[in-house]
């Protein structure tokens, strides 16, 4: 039997991050992965989806390029090339990750692993002993009763990555990050998109102003949506909503979130990443791993959320609907920024929520929102007073100077 300091089950962001940092500190680490390193994020989530999104946005921008003086003839579109680019991107990132894990000193076993007891893991009929076992087995798409996945008409977020051709119309169930990003992808490619959401607004976890702005943007882009509604039944590929609306999409994408995948685990196991069933974001999983391996703490209330596309959506901290009358909100439209006009990206806003001179929440709909949110997050994490932020000289013209334009008026 082989002996290790740490045995890790699952090679996603939580598992490989913990493994590499523990190994670099001199621990003897073995990692078990039943499929491919990178987990959902690299193989079935963040990376392939963003590749699709980039291709769709480029296509959409080219179509409207004549408005800025760029003309073209015989524009062609080959979806197989989009798929090829997605696959190459995933493969290149994975190879880089595999090399990094190997160079860190982690031993990787590609096999299904199960826990025999608190110090023993079984894989491929071999037993491995570990002083501590870390479970980082990730999550799987969540099914809804009546919308069980069949991989043909009712797809989950894994299935949709394997489509070989674009739909003419699609129904998306759920308006979280997965639903919103795929709505943008299909719409950019010219498909008819409909979203159904049980909550009162789209992106129910977001600030109310964010939800309302995205609804307005979707109306402009002719993305249909039904809120406070759900699928009542499906018969012969006809979808009937509880509201009475009848839809005939090419397929249904169920984007209702994910749920943990957990093996039988002794209480002495360490569980990190999506397996915890907490915040199911890759960067949260990575930071959990860093806390475990390096002792770097984090504030669970300050985990940023990002939804990609045009414009990007990002937020951190408290929402307006979470705050009382003693909080102050200030919102700057992106149209106030010269850089936005240069980029033809004037849709959106930067919104801060403050109390007693400190930022409690930030909500951004804008190009570069995924980067802008971290400027505010650093201030929030360090409990900086806005008067300190006023001393920072922001470059011009930029999107980030919009943050200064807000705080200078606080």
Rg (C-alpha) for the chain, rounded Å, is: 23
The rounded distance, in Å, linking the Cα atoms of 210 and 319 is 10
Distance of CA 172 to the CA centre of its chain: 16
Cα atoms found within 13 Å of the Cα of residue 269, Cβ hemisphere only: 24
Q: Does 266 share its domain with 373?
A: no
Domain identity same for 33 and 129: yes
Give the model's pLDDT for residue 32.
98
What are the structure tokens assigned to 372, written together? 């802008």
Half-sphere exposure of 377 (CA within 13 A, CB side): 21
**CATH, residue 306:** 3.30.390.30
SS3 annotation, the chain: CEEEEEEEECCCHHHHHHHHHHHHCCCCEEEEECCCCCHHHHHCCHHHHHHHHHHHHHHHHHHCHHHHCCCCCCCCCCHHHHHHHHHHHHHHHHHHHHHHHHHHCCEEEECCEEEEECCEEEECCEEEEEEEEEECCCEEECCCCCCCCCCCCEECCCHHHHCCCCCCEEEEECCCHHHHHHHHHHHHCCCEEEEEECCCCCCCCCCHHHHHHHHHHHHHCCCEEEECCCEEEEECCEEEECCCCEECCCEEEECCCEEECCCCCCCCCEECHHHHCCCCCHHHHHHHHHHHHHCCCCCHHHCCEEECCCCEEEEEECCHHHCCCCCEEEEEEHHHCHHHHHCCCCCCEEEEEEECCEEEEEEEEECCHHHHHHHHHHHHHCCCEHHHHCCCCCCCCCCCHHHHHHHCCC
pLDDT recorded at residue 332:
98
Q: Indicate whether 328 and 396 sit together in one domain.
A: yes
pLDDT score recorded for residue 273: 94
Same-domain check for residues 71 and 85: yes
360 with 371, same domain: the answer is yes
Instruction: Enter the tokens of residue 362.
Output: 């930030």
Strands 192-197 and 224-227 come out as: parallel
40 and 179 inside one domain: no
> Number of structural domains, the chain?
3
Residue 250's CATH number: 3.50.50.60
Residues in Cβ contact with 155 at an 8 Å cutoff, skipping those fewer than 6 apart: 149, 163, 251, 252, 253, 254
Contacts of 79 (CB under 8 A, 6+ apart): 164, 165, 166, 189
User: Which of 318, 344, 331 is CA-nearest to residue 405?
Assistant: 331
Examine the domain organization and report whether 217 and 117 are in the same domain. Answer: no
Give the residue numbers spanning the domain of 363.
302-407
Residue 311 preceded by cis peptide, ω within 30:
yes
User: Nearest Cα to 210, choosing from 345, 368, 319, 339?
Assistant: 319
> Measured between alpha carbons, how far is 66 from 48 in angstroms, rounded to an integer?
29
Q: Domain check: are 384 and 237 in the same one?
A: no
Q: What pLDDT is attached to residue 265?
A: 58
Tell me, yes or no, whether 222 and 272 share the same domain: no
Do 122 and 150 fall into the same domain? no
Q: From first to last of its 410 residues, what are the pLDDT tens digits of the chain? A: 899 999 999 999 999 999 999 999 999 999 999 999 999 999 999 999 999 999 999 999 988 887 788 877 778 889 999 999 999 999 999 999 999 999 999 999 999 999 988 899 999 999 999 999 999 999 999 999 999 999 999 999 999 999 999 999 999 999 999 999 999 999 999 999 999 999 999 999 999 999 999 999 999 999 999 999 999 999 999 999 999 999 999 999 999 989 888 755 557 789 999 998 889 999 999 999 999 999 999 899 999 999 999 999 999 999 999 998 899 999 999 999 999 999 999 999 999 999 999 999 999 999 999 999 999 999 999 999 999 999 999 999 999 999 999 999 88
Same domain, 282 and 351: no
* Co-location of 68 and 157 in the same domain: no
């Amino acid at each position: 039997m082989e002996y290790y300091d740490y045995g890790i089950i699952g090679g996603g962001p939580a598992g490989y991050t913990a493994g590499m940092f523990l190994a670099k500190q001199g621990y003897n680490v073995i990692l078990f992965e039943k499929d491919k390193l990178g987990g959902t994020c690299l193989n079935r989530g963040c990376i392939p989806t963003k590749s699709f999104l980039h291709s769709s946005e480029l296509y959409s921008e080219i179509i409207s390029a004549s408005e800025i003086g760029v003309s073209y003839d015989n524009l062609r579109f080959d979806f197989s090339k989009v798929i090829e680019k997605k696959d190459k991107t995933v493969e290149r990132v994975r190879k880089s990750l595999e090399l990094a894990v190997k160079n860190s000193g982690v031993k990787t076993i590609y096999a299904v692993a199960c826990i025999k007891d608190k110090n023993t893991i079984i894989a491929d009929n071999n037993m491995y002993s570990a002083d501590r076992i870390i479970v980082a087995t990730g999550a799987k798409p969540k099914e809804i009763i009546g919308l069980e996945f069949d991989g043909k008409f009712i797809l989950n977020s894994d299935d949709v990555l394997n489509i070989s051709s674009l739909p003419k119309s699609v129904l998306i169930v759920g308006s979280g990050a997965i639903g919103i990003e795929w709505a943008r992808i299909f719409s950019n490619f010219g498909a008819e998109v409909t979203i159904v959401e049980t909550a009162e607004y789209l992106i129910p976890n977001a600030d109310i102003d964010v939800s309302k702005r995205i609804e307005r943007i979707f109306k402009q882009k002719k993305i249909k949506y039904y809120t406070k509604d759900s699928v009542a039944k499906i018969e012969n590929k006809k979808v009937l909503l509880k509201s009475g609306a009848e839809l005939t999409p090419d397929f249904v994408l169920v984007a209702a979130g994910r749920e943990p995948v957990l093996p039988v685990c002794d209480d002495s196991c360490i569980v990190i990443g999506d397996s915890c069933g907490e915040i199911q974001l890759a960067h949260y999983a990575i930071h959990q791993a860093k806390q475990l391996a390096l002792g770097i703490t984090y504030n669970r209330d300050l985990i940023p959320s990002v939804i990609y596309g045009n414009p990007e959506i990002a937020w951190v901290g408290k929402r307006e609907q979470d705050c009382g009358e003693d909080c102050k909100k200030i919102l700057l439209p992106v149209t106030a920024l010269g850089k936005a006009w240069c980029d033809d990206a004037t849709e959106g806003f930067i919104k801060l929520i403050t109390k007693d001179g400190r930022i409690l929440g930030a909500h951004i709909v804008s190009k570069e929102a995924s980067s802008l949110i971290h400027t505010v997050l650093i201030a929030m994490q360090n409990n900086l007073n806005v008067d300190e932020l006023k001393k920072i000289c922001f470059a011009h013209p930029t999107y980030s100077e919009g943050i200064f334009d807000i705080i200078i008026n606080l």
